[in-house]
Structure 1
Amino acid sequence: MSRIRIIPVLLLRKGGLYKTVRFKNAAYVGDPINTVKIFNEKEADELVVLDYNASLDGSAIDYKKITEIAGEAFMPMGYGGGIKTLEDAKKVFDAGYEKVVLNSILFNDISLIEKIGHIYGAQAVVCAIDVKKNLFGKYKTYSHSGTKSTNWTPVEWVKQLEANGAGEILLNSIEQDGTWGGYDLELVKLVAPAIGIPLIVCGGAGNTGDFIKAVQTGASAVAAGSMFVYQKKGMGVLISFPTGFSI
């Protein structure tokens, strides 16, 4: 049996934690500090914190808040949101994070991957892509929290990211986000064979069976949000984590 790498993804906005459904209808779920403390107790493998509105509204990174969050964590942490320059990335690493997550900025400056990787190593650079189908049923990659179509297919874009030094890919299905309906396995089947670096899939997990299906389809690791912050779909907030889960 092999252990599955499981990553809770926490959405940060103005100091609080939120959860979206298909990247919309953000609902407040709690305080990030208390949430990280609970994930410490439950021995989560690692955490990813994303300020999902930073690129959309152009807000500055809240270094004070993300430093406080990292200071409570006993596990590796990744941060994304509003990172536009090497200096931004340096400040995130100095705040206590092992990885940076890059997304929208890469459509304007893909060289940022190599700049960061040259100093901190490729393993410290996670490139996130947000994907949904267009009106013709074709997968397209979106930027700025899913609001702007880039005309890149996910396969084309992940190949570009890997060629420019990405250490990992975080593949997020916009249509499955927050639905509890399972990962988009069709999308995983397309992307996984196209790259030789780890693929983390996110968007739609509703139970541990979804983790197994994703890994069997080609994912290297799995990430989720709603499943870890709610009791069940449509029910109240309850932080949880499936410790020691393997296949």
Structure 2
Amino acid sequence: MSLKRIIPCLLLRDSGLVKTVKFKKTTYIGDPINAVKIFNEKEVDELIFLDIDATRNKTEPPYQAIQDIATECFMPFCYGGGVNNVEQIRKLLASGAEKIAINTAAFKDPNFIRNAVSIFGSSTIVVSIDYKKNLFGKPVVYVNGGRTSTKKNLLNYVKEIEMLGVGEILLNSIDRDGTMEGYDIGMIKDVSVSVEIPVVACGGAGNMDDLKQVLAQTEVTGVAAGSMFIYQGKKRGVLISYPNQEEIKNIIN
């Protein structure tokens, strides 16, 4: 059985830290290095960094920013954003990332994912999947930073991704992103029982009960959250937090 994980998910834009709501309404939060130092102090086990502009702008991943993060970061981290070839993965790993999350390129070129897995190993390659429900309540996969519908059904797509040999799926609800109104439990449950590889759920966490609920009611191996670990109070003041060891035990047990 995989150890349950609670993972801060941090969004990058121009090497700064930002937050979004439903993949829109971007708010600048601060310097990612400062956030990393705080998470170091709080003994976080793992981090996720996603560059929200790299794919849309067709730019290279921010290698220097990743190297700067790795220099300060005491824990392993996953990077995603704009990754579409093997050489980029090689550079990101050399810069200090441990896992690489791939989203749009996984949809456009499944053979790229197969090749990446064969070169770097399944444990290194994560496929990040963003989805939104249509007017009929059906989950549809989106790419290009949540801007483009693939018209693919989520449950069918996750099975296709599993067949590529990846080590993990990062599942993100566009509808829940930044709302702090709770995870999409029903869909997360359906996805997590549809595949045998680890699934990390993201989108909607507002409190520790949300984390506990999704871990208890679904088969995910991890939960990721952004706003919950960045904001405090009704006015959403920026104050980085993370559960202490006693709270973690209560969440995962």
1:226 matched to which residue of 2? 227
Equivalent-residue separation in structure 2 for 1:160 and 1:241 (angstroms): 34
* Alpha-carbon shift at residue 113 of structure 1 (Å): 2.0
Equivalent-residue separation in structure 2 for 1:207 and 1:193 (angstroms): 24
2:35 matched to which residue of 1? 35
Asked if 1:94 is matched to 2:94, the reply is yes
Note the residue ranges of structure 2 that are not aligned, 5 or more in a row: none
Is the contact between residue 180 and residue 233 of structure 1 (CA under 8 Å) also seen in structure 2? Answer: no
SS in 1 for 2:238: coil
1:122 matched to which residue of 2? 122
2:138 matched to which residue of 1? 138
Equivalent-residue separation in structure 2 for 1:235 and 1:205 (angstroms): 14
The answer to which of 193-202 and 60-69 deviates more is: 60-69
2:44 matched to which residue of 1? 44
* Alpha-carbon shift at residue 50 of structure 1 (Å): 0.4
Equivalent-residue separation in structure 2 for 1:45 and 1:233 (angstroms): 28
* Alpha-carbon shift at residue 233 of structure 1 (Å): 4.3
Is the contact between residue 173 and residue 184 of structure 2 (CA under 8 Å) also seen in structure 1? Answer: yes
SS in 2 for 1:140: strand
The answer to which of 62-71 and 195-204 deviates more is: 62-71
* Alpha-carbon shift at residue 138 of structure 1 (Å): 1.1
2:211 matched to which residue of 1? 211
* Alpha-carbon shift at residue 34 of structure 1 (Å): 0.8
Note the residue ranges of structure 1 that are not aligned, 5 or more in a row: none
Q: Which has the higher contact order (CA 8 A, sep 6+)?
A: 1
TM-score by length of 2: 0.94
SS in 1 for 2:83: coil
Equivalent-residue separation in structure 2 for 1:7 and 1:112 (angstroms): 27
- CA offsets 1:94-128 (integer angstroms, 9 cap, x no match): 00011000001111111222222222210111111
- Considering only aligned residues, what root-mean-square deviation do their CA atoms show, in Å? 1.3
- CA offsets 1:152-187 (integer angstroms, 9 cap, x no match): 111111111110011001000001110110100011
- CA offsets 1:191-222 (integer angstroms, 9 cap, x no match): 11110011100000011111111112221110
1:157 matched to which residue of 2? 157
**Equivalences for 1:53-68 in 2 at 5 Å?**
53-68=53-68
SS in 2 for 1:111: helix
SS in 1 for 2:200: strand
Equivalent-residue separation in structure 2 for 1:232 and 1:206 (angstroms): 11
SS in 2 for 1:151: strand
Question: Measured at CA, do residues 28 and 100 of structure 1 come closer, stay the same or move farther in structure 2, by a change above 3 Å?
Answer: same
TM-score by length of 1: 0.96
Equivalent-residue separation in structure 2 for 1:3 and 1:234 (angstroms): 34
Identity of aligned residues (%): 48
The one-letter amino acid of 1:53's match is D
Equivalent-residue separation in structure 1 for 2:170 and 2:234 (angstroms): 23
Equivalent-residue separation in structure 2 for 1:164 and 1:4 (angstroms): 24
Is the contact between residue 3 and residue 221 of structure 2 (CA under 8 Å) also seen in structure 1? Answer: no
1:81 matched to which residue of 2? 81
Equivalent-residue separation in structure 2 for 1:76 and 1:116 (angstroms): 20
The one-letter amino acid of 1:50's match is L
Is the contact between residue 180 and residue 204 of structure 1 (CA under 8 Å) also seen in structure 2? Answer: yes
Is the contact between residue 83 and residue 89 of structure 2 (CA under 8 Å) also seen in structure 1? Answer: yes
1:197 matched to which residue of 2? 197
